[in-house]
Amino acid sequence: MQRKYFLPAICLNLLLFSGLFSQTVTHTRAFSGIPNLQTTLSFEKFSIGAPLTGVEVTVRLNTEGGYAGGDAAVRSSGVSLTLQSDDVRLLTDLFQPAVETLPAVADITVPAGETIQAIPALRKSSGGSIGSRFFSDFTGTGTFNLKLDVSNVLNMENPSEQGIFCPPTCSGTVEITYTY
């Protein structure tokens, strides 16, 4: 009787312990500048002979400095980051974006005619898993490019009024993590 449970027990143990032996390779690229920042980041494709079991994309965004105010009433200010590619599909298996637009926007209240107010420093991150049906985009030899766009965000009560705005500086990283 015990013999018939022996093979399923071995299979179950192999499945449970296979995750313990997975390995990862991470490629990180940094960016910095003043919005409206557009740059292209190049990453190496996964070229290790083992089967690819996961691709994660992580974006970290930091903002610092900047100010807003003047005659216009300012409600919020900051930056917004988008990541796109013509080389690889940044999608989940449900064809949804694996990395959403990342806003780093501070709610500030500067009444019209008031003095200028500093924009607080912000730290934001976003990430997601690429769907397994798109792993082939990330495998092979060579590189692929990701287009990074960091845009200014300024929400005013009456946009026709004049105000003063100095955007925050931004910096951060984009990481591609391969699991095999």
Is position 169 within any domain?
Answer: yes
Is position 122 within any domain?
Answer: yes
**Mean pLDDT of all residues belonging to the chain:** 88
Is position 11 within any domain?
Answer: no
Per the structure, the complete domain to which residue 72 belongs is given by: 32-179
75's CB contacts (< 8 A; 6+ apart) are: 107, 108, 109, 155, 156, 157
When divided into structural domains, the chain yields a total of 1
Is position 137 within any domain?
Answer: yes
Given a contact cutoff of 8 angstroms between Cβ atoms, the answer to whether 89 and 137 are in contact is yes
Express as a percent the part of the chain with pLDDT over 90: 65
Question: How many angstroms separate the Cα of 88 from the Cα of each of 6, 18, 33, 40, 162?
Answer: 44, 28, 25, 13, 42
Q: Give the tens place of pLDDT for each residue, 50-109.
A: 999 999 999 999 999 998 887 777 788 899 999 999 999 999 999 999 999 999 998 887
Is position 159 within any domain?
Answer: yes
Is position 102 within any domain?
Answer: yes
What is the structure's pLDDT at 3?
57
What is the structure's pLDDT at 67?
87
Confidence tier at 150 by pLDDT (50, 70, 90): very high
Confidence tier at 4 by pLDDT (50, 70, 90): low
Is position 148 within any domain?
Answer: yes
Question: How many angstroms separate the Cα of 31 from the Cα of each of 11, 49, 56, 149, 165?
Answer: 46, 30, 19, 11, 23
Given a contact cutoff of 8 angstroms between Cβ atoms, the answer to whether 156 and 39 are in contact is no
Global pTM reads 0.81
Radius of gyration of the chain (CA): 23
Angstrom distance (rounded) from CA 127 to CA 39: 19
* Residue 113 or residue 135, greater confidence: 135
Is position 121 within any domain?
Answer: yes
Express as a percent the part of the chain with pLDDT over 70: 87
